[in-house]
Amino acid sequence: MKNLLLIVLGLVIITSGVVFALNNKNDKTKITEGANMNNKVLVAYFSATGTTKQVAQNLSSAINADIYEIKPKVPYTKEDLNWMDKNSRSTVEMKDYSSRPEMVEDNFSTDNYDTIFLGFPIWWYIAPTIVNTFLERYDLANKKIILFATSGGSGFGKTVENLKKSVSSSTEIIQGELFNNNPSKDELKKWAQSVL
């Protein structure tokens, strides 16, 4: 009888330990997933026509991240964006790699973020030069920048190579995804989880 009681007591202790370990493992998984998706993550974007803005807003909502719009001091007009006009503002800026269009002044800081999803339209196979303005405005040393873009047909081209010139050598820039169709929040969340 004494042996039977010891066996039953042993099984109860073992079962309790297994249940505790499984619950503890699930709690750690939830915390890890939450830390990757919620803490110190920013979605920053430049959008001239609203296409990139929509993707950025959906991404921010999907991963519960803060959002920041890179706003030009002088907004782009339809005429400014006419890439077929050699004298349009966007064409002139993109021909001059040293061009740094001014951003609206604000009190924003990137200090609290470790990871930045950076979105923009592709212009002439690279990011618009106002994106360089953004990168050069803030200290992004030791941060991870994951790019996403929208485009009417161009790929990333030399985007990563060009943007690396505007950040510290300790800043990691990752070519992310080109979103030509309006992806769902679920698709954006899955993509974000895969690159974090």
* pLDDT-wise least confident of 9-13, 48-52, 191-195: 9-13
Instruction: Report the pLDDT value the prediction gives residue 154, as an integer from 0 to 100.
Output: 87
pTM of the predicted model over 0.85? no
Q: Please compute the mean of the pLDDT values over residues 74-103 and round it to a whole number.
A: 94
From the DSSP assignment, how many helices (H) and strands (E) are in the chain?
6, 5
Q: Please compute the mean of the pLDDT values over residues 117-136 and round it to a whole number.
A: 96
Which ranges constitute the DSSP H helices of 39-184? 51-63, 89-95, 129-137, 159-164
**Would you place residue 139 in the very low, low, confident or very high pLDDT band (cuts 50, 70, 90)?**
very high
Q: What is the rounded distance in angstroms from the CA atom of residue 24 to the CA atom of residue 13?
A: 16
Cβ distance 156 to 129 under 8 Å?
A: no
Strand partners, 119: 45, 148
- Strand intervals (E) in the chain: 41-45, 66-69, 115-121, 144-150, 172-178
Cα 138 from chain centroid? 16
Cα 119 from chain centroid? 7
Instruction: Report the pLDDT value the prediction gives residue 181, as an integer from 0 to 100.
Output: 85
Instruction: Report the pLDDT value the prediction gives residue 8, as an integer from 0 to 100.
Output: 39
Residues above pLDDT 70, as percent of the chain = 80
What digits encode the pLDDT tens for the residues 13-68?
Answer: 444 443 344 444 443 333 234 434 445 999 999 999 999 999 999 999 999 999 99
Q: Is the pLDDT of residue 83 over 90?
A: no
Instruction: Report the pLDDT value the prediction gives residue 141, as an integer from 0 to 100.
Output: 97
Instruction: Report the pLDDT value the prediction gives residue 39, as an integer from 0 to 100.
Output: 57
| Cβ partners under 8 Å of residue 152, min gap 6 | 180
Residues above pLDDT 90, as percent of the chain = 74
Helix (H, G, I), strand (E, B) or coil at 149: strand
Average pLDDT across the chain, whole number:
85
Q: What is the rounded distance in angstroms from the CA atom of residue 5 to the CA atom of residue 128?
A: 75
Q: Please compute the mean of the pLDDT values over residues 181-190 and round it to a whole number.
A: 95
